[in-house]
């Protein structure tokens, strides 16, 4: 499932590919971004193939 990166850069339009089940589980815990993208006031809690999961700090 393609989704737009949820990083803090409002101009970012990078596509992150995850399957629907992964999205449902991970999105409950934070924001999904493209690798190496930043979420202000967040911390990376998982680096997976094709996306990073950020949790609010």
pLDDT tens-digit series, residues 6-51: 999 999 999 999 999 999 999 999 999 999 999 999 999 999 989 9
Q: Residue 57 and residue 49: Cα distance in Å, rounded?
A: 23
How far does the chain reach from its first CA to its final CA, in angstroms? 27
Q: Residue 44 and residue 47: Cα distance in Å, rounded?
A: 7
Under 8 Å between Cβ of 19 and 52: no
pLDDT reported for residue 56: 84
Q: Residue 30 and residue 18: Cα distance in Å, rounded?
A: 14
φ/ψ of 2, rounded to 5, equals: -80, 135
pTM value is 0.89
């Amino acid at each position: 499932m393609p989704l737009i990166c949820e990083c803090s850069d409002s101009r970012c339009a990078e596509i992150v590919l995850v399957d629907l089940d992964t999205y449902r589980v991970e999105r409950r815990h934070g924001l999904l971004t493209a690798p190496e993208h930043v979420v202000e006031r967040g911390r990376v809690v998982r680096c997976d193939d094709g996306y990073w999961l950020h949790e609010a700090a």
